[in-house]
Amino acid sequence: MYLIVIGAGDTGSYLIERAVTDGNDVVVIEQNEERANAASAAYDCLVLHDDARNHDTLKDADIDRADAVISTTDIDATNIMVMLLAQEHDVPNLVSVVHDPENLPVFEKIGATLIENPQHLIADHLYHSVRYPNVGDFIELDEATELVELTVTEDAPMNGQLLSTALKSGSLPEGALVVALERDGTIRAPKGETRIQAGDQVTVFTDDASLADAVAAFTGSDL
């Protein structure tokens, strides 16, 4: 793919590295001279030290070839302007970081794929790691629900339980649903007759009110 990345800060640099390593054609636009020079030295891609809000800069980046424009700056106004300019060139994929939730409607109207403030995501992940150390991973779906990845332990209430009877028996809390199960390296869609076993890695959909009980149900422990 031909990708144009706006910004070579912490978020942009990680993205650039991933994209270049995967063999994509990448052009980076960075207004800060020091960051632009660092990106040019570190990555095998074209780096333009310029302002992405300038139409001529985007033309220099050959925006009409772009499969995607990804804006990672820490200023929403800049990201919005970049998305609008890229939209004028019919770039098929518009992706942007959004820092202020109040700006979400503007980005949504443009049709951009949105990435929540990375600092907030990191903070959420760190908090979950401390609050629920037995959670392997989690995805926050909205303000009240998330997906959590748990490994079933021997002493867990769900060990040996059928999914069809787990809720009625009280082993599985209300508001929790097993949506995927990995056993012996094979991922399967759980059914009512699926019996949970120690060592299973389960992905559980849960609301915030049931999260602690869900963790305890599959790991036998909670904070």
Strand partners, 137: 149
Please state, in angstroms and as integers, the Cα–Cα distance from residue 215 to each residue in 163, 173, 194, 204, following that order.
Answer: 16, 10, 19, 9
Alpha carbons 214 and 204: distance in angstroms, whole number: 8
3-state secondary structure of 55: helix
Position 72 scores a pLDDT of: 93
23-57, pLDDT tens digit by residue?
999 999 999 999 999 999 999 999 999 999 999 99
2-116 to CATH, choices 1.20.140.10, 3.40.50.300, 3.40.50.720, 3.40.190.170? 3.40.50.720
Position 148 scores a pLDDT of: 85
Position 122 scores a pLDDT of: 59
Helices (H) and strands (E) in the chain, counts: 8, 11
Which CATH superfamily does the domain covering 121-219 fall into? Regulator of K+ conductance, C-terminal domain (3.30.70.1450)
172-200, pLDDT tens digit by residue?
988 888 989 999 889 888 888 999 999 99
Residue pair 3/68 in contact (Cβ under 8 Å)? The answer is yes
CB atoms < 10 A from the CB of 93, how many?
15
Position 131 scores a pLDDT of: 61
CB-based burial, 206-216: b 16+ in 10 Å, e otherwise:
bbeebbebbbb
Segments of the chain with pLDDT less than 70:
116-134, 136-143, 221-223
Position 116 scores a pLDDT of: 66
Position 99 scores a pLDDT of: 86
Position 223 scores a pLDDT of: 46
Position 31 scores a pLDDT of: 96
